[in-house]
Amino acid sequence: MLLMLPLLVSAHACAAPQPVSEAEVRACLRRLLPLPQEITIERRVTVPIDVIRLELGAEESELTQAAVGELAALLGEGVLAQSRPDNLFTIRLECASSDAAGAIRAPGVETLAALRNPEQAYLVTPLAANGLTVAALTDRGLYYGCKTVQQLLRPGLANGRVTIPLAEVRDWPDLAERGEWGGSANADIEWMAERKMNLVESHVDMSIDAAGQGVAKLDETLLERGRKHAVKVVPIITHLDQLAGSGIYERYPELKGVGKSAKGTWSADQIAPCFSQPRMPEILAEWFASLASQEGVSDVCVWLSEEQLQCECEHCRAEGQFVLEAKAAVRAWELAREKTPHVRLRILLTQGSYSTNDKVLAAVPPEVGISYYDGGRTYDSSRDPMIYPLLEDYAKQGRWLGCYPQLTASWRIVCPWSGPQFIRYRMTEFVQDGLQCLCGYATPSNRLYDLNVQAAAEWSWNSKGREEHEFAAAWATREGLKDAEKAADWAVMLGPVAWDVYGSGIPYPQFFGRAPNMVAKRTTPKLGEGMFRYFPTVEHIDRDLTVCRQALSLAEALDAPLLTAETRTIGGYVEMIRSVYDIATAVAGKEALTPDEQRRVQALVNDLDEASRNTVAGLGEWDAATGPGLGGGRFADTVQVTDQTAVDVAAALAAFGIEDPSAPYRRRKTGAWESADFQPGAERITKRWDVTDTLLTPGRYRVEFVYTGGWWGATIYRVALATAPADQPEQLTEIAVDEHEGVAAYHNRDHVYLLPVDEHGPGVKYYLIADLKGVTSEGKPENRRDCNGDVWLWRERPDGE
């Protein structure tokens, strides 16, 4: 049924339209993200807001109501008035449907049907000088058209009037699905929808009920938010080797895979199920059916086992673990769709399935979607193509293919990266290879990778739109930076240098022991390989350092702490790369050093120490600029491993008489907490650690509480340093206290404590004492257990040292 809702407001004479200059068009386009595929702006008109009306000529749905509501929120509820004269500016929303054939009046709307992803396509057309029509084939397309209109109107709102670009737009997305899983994706549905991202894949609670039935449920609020913002929320049935938390093996122990090859390496709970047992696919079907029954669920994604595990029973071994898992997922879908025929299945490939992906693809019917994930191949920042020939051919056959790339420096560490070149390269690859879906990974928060995530939204929608510089200028304009051109210069200047760094595995995995090991083994470093992969010559390293200095000048001129901190961090890593190369070259193959060589190597180690300190300082500034603690435990790991690399390189050279110049100021792990420390009814405790070997001199000391794993974090209330006679450790005297509430968890808050030590006396013991609250694992379900963390202590470096 076609609804015509004349939403009228008060009358004023509309001003005559005025031509727009090229500069005005460019400024207008910079407010749009993503850039529409086709857009022309030749005129604009300025009108009082209270002459604008909304007219809805479309099937009224939850999504069209949301579109109207968002426009009303922007322009004021007056646009919804019912009784006003006719001298108006009208924004008319029109949507075709099977019940309203021929109702569309906007010329050219029929061309949308021939576009890629036509259900998301839309038109914006001027109505002479007194209106705009937004037209689409579906309510999703209409919603996206309204998003573009909002972006066109928002900059021109001032003093009760609005300047309206009379734009002509025909637009559609290159990729059908554009979104994320993990990180802050669930919380960011509205933020993502503003940028026309339309997918969130989300983990669910899976369990076995008292009757032995599989039950799975996705948060209803999440689904509702998705429906109102054109975001598809896809529930995830998690990696099939990680089902222990559901309670399935407690209820059905026979479903555990048998043999050594069925057991994972990183957890006793990681085990391949035995899909030869008939009950196993039935439970999978029950979980699938539970999810499919929820309003708003149109797809369910089943993640294959993450590691290369194999149940060793005769049947499983004969057919192969991953083929059996895929077939079980298909069978679960077939059983579930007897009651929910609308719900589709997608299957996630993994690094475990990689060697048998061809067999998995052959085992699933054409209507099942395939998503590609591999912890080493899609969580990758290199310049290598991601979609390999098997999947290229699969997509060329018209099969549904998605990919899970990282949009960040690394899945493991948290470092700043605003890299438009990297994101454009990856999105262009996906579009050209015929993919349907981007499901990016930006852990732990989109706020840390704002430019990259928005770039993914831009080029997954319109892969042939803006060049990198113009996109970066649009991003800077929308973010309110004071000079968009200079900010764009900064982004395109620094982005490739960061790509050299992160694409070479710095800091992960190369700083997780590999760089110090190269020095310790006296191995000759090879430029263009390993940690120097994208540094083919020394001159290339030096050019990147020069670019970093130039980018830093730009960032400082912009008075943008976030950009300055990112530049210092990346520049620091390049300095560390150069220092490690010089050190490794100087000691390669040597068993002893001459005095001159020793002095030179010590100077190089001093350079590495300074570069490490510069990098850590940059990371700290970035953390403060993005929101302290937002990076969580992985950010703390990044800081620690950056510092530790300098420590370990110096230690590897101790036999040559080389010293660590920052030894007195190094972070040291001095304690820990774990779930066993906390008991039911006594979860707030006092912990004490002997720090005598760490606290060696007077100075100001920092104590950091770092969450390392488990479902729960810890709350810290008070931290103190105390002394005691060496032979009477219970006679404690507090000498410094910092009392404030902090949280060490996935997202930290105020988790660093400052303790000044004015004097350091001989013959005494020093103790660190913390009043903290954690969570016991007793009585908790398997997937809601553990509360673990480490305590780090270090002396601050005095000013000027």
Amino acid 14: pLDDT: 58
pLDDT tens digits, 456-465: 999 999 999 9
Q: What is the pLDDT of residue 124?
A: 97
Which structure tokens are listed for 171?
A: 């637009």
pLDDT range class, residue 98, cuts 50, 70, 90: very low
**Helix residue ranges per DSSP H, 349-483:** 357-363, 389-396, 420-432, 450-461, 468-479
| Mean pLDDT score, 189-216 | 97
pLDDT at 97: 57
Digit-coded pLDDT (tens) for 410-434: 999 999 999 999 999 999 999 999 9
Residue range 575-623, pLDDT digits in tens: 999 999 999 999 999 999 999 999 999 999 999 999 999 999 999 999 9
**Nearest of 175, 680, 676 to residue 387 by alpha carbon:** 175
Task: Indicate left, alpha or beta for 279 from its phi (over 0: left) and psi (-120 to 50: alpha).
Answer: alpha
DSSP 749: B
Report if pTM > 0.85: yes
Kindly state the helix (H) or strand (E) to which residue 18 belongs, with its residue range. strand 18-19
Q: Which residues on neighbouring strands pair with residue 771, listed in sequence order?
A: 686, 718
pLDDT tens by residue, 630-660? 898 889 899 999 999 999 999 999 999 999 9
Tell me the three state secondary structure of residue 146: helix
Whether 6 shows a pLDDT value over 50: the answer reads no
Identity of the residue numbered 750: D
Query: How would residue 5 be classed by pLDDT, with cut points 50, 70 and 90?
Result: very low
Rounded mean pLDDT, 62-89: 83
Q: What DSSP element (H or E) covers 702?
A: strand 699-709
SS3 state of residue 83: coil
The residue-averaged pLDDT of 74-93 equals 78
List the single range of 321-325, 438-442, 615-619, 782-786 with lowest mean pLDDT. Answer: 782-786
What does the pLDDT read at residue 105? 65
> Residue 82 has what pLDDT?
59
pLDDT tens track for 697-710: 999 999 999 998 88
Predicted local confidence at residue 703, as pLDDT = 96
Q: Say whether pLDDT at 99 is over 70.
A: no
Query: What is the per-residue pLDDT for 87?
Result: 59
Alpha helices for 480-525 (secondary structure H): 484-503, 515-520
Confidence of residue 241 (pLDDT cuts 50, 70, 90): very high
Report pLDDT digits (tens) over 392-403: 999 999 999 999
Structure token pair of residue 666: 């190094």
Contact call for residues 458 and 490 (beta carbons, < 8 A): no
Sheet with strand 668-673: strands edge to edge = 668-673, 788-795, 699-709, 752-757
Q: How far apart are CA 106 and CA 135, in angstroms?
A: 7
- CA-atom Rg of the chain in angstroms: 30
Collapsing DSSP states into helix, strand and coil, what is residue 200?
strand
CA-CA-CA-CA torsion for 372, 375, 379, 381, nearest 10 degrees? Answer: -120
How far is the C-alpha of 192 from the C-alpha of 197, rounded, in Å?
5
Of the chain, the percentage scoring pLDDT greater than 70 comes to 96
Q: Is 391 exposed, middle or buried (0-12, 13-18, 19+ CB in 10 A)?
A: buried
On whether the CB atoms of residues 231 and 179 are closer than 8 A, the answer is yes
